[in-house]
Structure 1
Amino acid sequence: MFIYTNIKIKIPDSFENKVFDELFEILEDVNKNYNSYSKNSYIDKINKNNGKFVQVNEETVNLLEKVVHFSEIMNGEYDITIMPLIKLWGFYKENSDKIPENLEIKKIKKLVDYKKIIIDKKNLKVKIDKNQEIITGSFIKAYAIDKAIQKMKELKIDDAIINAGGSSIVAINGWGIIVENPEPEKKLLKNDDGKILKITKEKYEGNDEYNDLFEIEIKDLTYSTSNQVNTFLEIDGEKYGHIISPKTGFPAKNKQIGIITENAFFGDMISTGLYNQTPKNFHEIIKKLSKEIKIEGYLIDENGEIHYTDGFLEYVK
């Protein structure tokens, strides 16, 4: 799974095409060295040598330290050692026709614990517990585009946008972004001021263009989003998404989350971790995060109700 295959970059046409070569070289470097799916990456070596210390570089140490820090803030609902649970549910099988037994989930959950990632910063070594496995899919594209954005700024590119598969969008200068309805076949309930309150159970008969949630405008910021529209299992007619709660061992039931931050790497992790939260916990964790970083967002819960942070609607056009 190569991270750069669905990354789109727009820059002013006054820059030569060779700029793209430089930017995609950065993306390839991150893919090669830090993507858990890339053979012989530092993360791949940690996974294959689970239970033993693995020699890494300083960037791997810094990367994992930040991941662990945000896992702590989100009360363990974000955990990159979630891979055994993802496999248990059958996301890496051709066919998955049954929900895992509670005893199976309970057993595998014991392997999911970010606190068991041991980072030896002095000697640049990392170890995970026996049979643990790290997955980087929730942050690796975002980490790569942050590095590409830094390069663009060094090249004096002052108007650009990078779209990493729709899950992370970073704007240099000001750009408008259409936020799509995760259930476009259903109507949106709005108040008199046009604020969307809920995705209803009623069928939407109109043009999809007019059933988007809203358009936001960001300037030198990142929009990160998580939903399970395209990645899910269908078992006995029920859809189960790929974002699984480390606490319950079951796929989260919320419909969508959107986060605005100054850093795509942080935003991607946060949108994944907060996807597992109740509306109450969503607001509490955002409040805690706001002491460290600039952050606003919204959560669409399993009932279709939309919960906004105080400042999010300031970005809605």
Structure 2
Amino acid sequence: MNDGLLYKAQVRWLFHAHIKIKIPVFCDESLFDELFAVLEDVDKHYNSYSEGSFFDLINKNAGQFVEVDDETISLLRQLIYFSDLFDGEYDITVMPLVRLWGFYKDEEPRLPLKEEIKATKKRVNYKTIEIEGSKVRIAEGQEIITGSFMKSYAVDKLVQKMRKEGITDAIINAGGSTIKTLNNNIHPFWIVNVQNSLKKDDSLFKLEVSNACFSTSAQTKTFVEIGGKKYGHIINPLTGYPSENKQIGIISTNCFVGDIISTGLYNQTLDGFTEKMKLLSTQFDVSGFLMDKNNSIRFSDGFEKYIVQ
């Protein structure tokens, strides 16, 4: 829905994704540089994939304390809280398992042995993250991965900047996995198309989203193929194996929260998803859906009200 309203947009490559910002046409063109600068700052200082970032330094000095800033400490405390909330099914130290399954490797992926999975799981434990004042230490052999939250965290900061600049009507599409809308009385919502991860050019449904974030994860886009079978990148830290679920989508008021929940609940059964969402909705303004390995879809309470088609 735009009722003839005019917008301008720019796309830039950040966080290994195309980030598209669309704002009203009357906004000054130079504003794009200021908006993308917010994302670039987060990418440079906090993305674990960025050379010299705080998380990169923590990883490279595993086993030793590293001096970090207040923002890194705040982020880690929030992430540990969510890991507790998900009983360890969400764990930012899962990277050794991700690498074991052949992601971020040049050689041909192979099926890990049970013994390898068991041994690698011992290095995956968020509870061994130590915070002492302004210093952080992870255990030797551990590695933090920020992919499940950093892009969305940056989008939340971008929205703060937009509101400060007086922008009340905009949409941010961060690689398709995080879509944040800003709305006002003239333009009360945006329509978000939820693609079916199993069929190209097919959509599951369209959502009416107003001043909210839609976070989605799917195993069909990022995977390794071993012996003709595809294994997705979202790995259960407790079992050491990739989830067999197909797709998840979460609507939330906060992108950071929504993105973490979409990862934390990816390993759930349909019934487990329903129960966990009930618990989470007592703390956060969230609703969503899960498509399991059998292509069955389950909606949480309150999600269907967003569906328009």
Per the normalisation by structure 1, the TM-score is: 0.89
Q: Is 1:222 aligned to residue 213 of structure 2?
A: yes
Tell me what 1:304 maps to. 295
Matched to 2:106, the amino acid is: E
SS in 1 for 2:231: strand
Look up the match of 2:93. Answer: 81
Contact 1:168–1:224 under 8 Å retained in 2 = yes
**How far off is 1:4 after superposition?**
6.9
Written as runs of structure 1 = structure 2, the 5 A alignment for 1:91-106 is: 91-106=103-118
Counterpart pick for 2:150 among 127, 136, 140: 140
* Secondary structure at the counterpart of residue 145 of structure 2: coil
Q: How does 1:1-317 map to 2 (within 5 A)?
A: 2-3=14-15, 5-120=17-132, 123-173=133-183, 174-184=189-199, 208=201, 211-317=202-308
Aligned-residue CA RMSD (Å): 1.3
Confirm or deny: 8 A CA contact 2:101 2:109 kept in the other structure.
no
Partner secondary structure for residue 310 of structure 1 = coil
**Preserved contact between residue 278 and residue 301 of structure 2 (Cα < 8 Å):** no
Offset of residue 310 of structure 1: 1.6
In the TM superposition, residue 5 of structure 1 has moved relative to its aligned partner by 4.8
Instruction: Please say if residues 129 and 138 of structure 2, whose CA atoms lie closer than 8 Å, have aligned partners that are also in contact.
Output: yes
Provide, for residues 276-301 of structure 1, a one-character-per-residue CA deviation record: whole Å limited to 9, x for no partner. 11112212221221121101000000
- Cα distance in 1 for partners of 2:279, 2:70 equals 28
Distance 2:92 2:260 in 1: 9
Segments of structure 2 that go 5 or more residues without pairing to the other structure are: 1-12, 184-188
The one-letter amino acid of 1:184's match is: K
- 2:140 partner letter: K
SS of 1:69's equivalent?
helix
Moved more, 162-171 or 64-73: 64-73
Shift of 1:96: 2.8
Q: Is the 8 A contact 1:82 1:133 kept in 2?
A: yes
Equivalent-residue separation in structure 2 for 1:294 and 1:138 (angstroms): 19
Partner AA of 1:277 in structure 2: Q
What one-letter code is carried by the residue in structure 2 that aligns with 1:154? Answer: K
Shift, 1:180, TM fit: 0.9
Contact 1:175 1:218 in 2 (8 A): yes
Deviation at 1:57, TM superposition (A): 0.7
Kindly state the Cα deviation for residue 2 of structure 1 after the two structures are TM-superposed.
Answer: 4.0
Aligned to 2:24, the other structure's residue is in SS state: coil
Structure 1: give runs of 5+ residues left out of the alignment: 186-207
Is the CA contact 1:259–1:297 (under 8 Å) kept in the aligned structure 2? yes
Question: C-alpha distance in 1, partners of 2:271/2:228?
Answer: 30
Amino acid across the alignment from 2:199: P
Match of 1:196 in 2: none
* Structure possessing the higher relative contact order (Cα contacts under 8 Å, 6 or more residues apart): 1
Task: Name the structure 1 match of 2:8.
Answer: none
Aligned residues: 291
Residues 61 and 293 from structure 1, CA distance in 2 versus in 1: closer, same or farther, beyond 3 angstroms? same
Greater shift, 212-221 or 276-285, is seen at 276-285
Cα distance in 1 for residues equivalent to 2:206 and 2:55: 37
Deviates more, 1:229-238 or 1:297-306: 229-238
Contact conserved, 1:221 with 1:263, CA < 8 A, in 2? yes
State the alpha-carbon separation in 2 of the partners of residues 170 and 151 from structure 1. 14
Cα distance in 2, alignment partners of residues 286 and 100 from structure 1:
32
2:221 and 2:244 mapped to 1: Cα distance? 14
- Matched to 1:181, the amino acid is N
Relative to 1, partners in 2 of residues 1:249 and 1:4: Cα closer, same or farther, differing over 3 Å? closer
Question: 1:136, CA displacement in angstroms?
Answer: 0.4
Matching residue's letter, 1:179: V
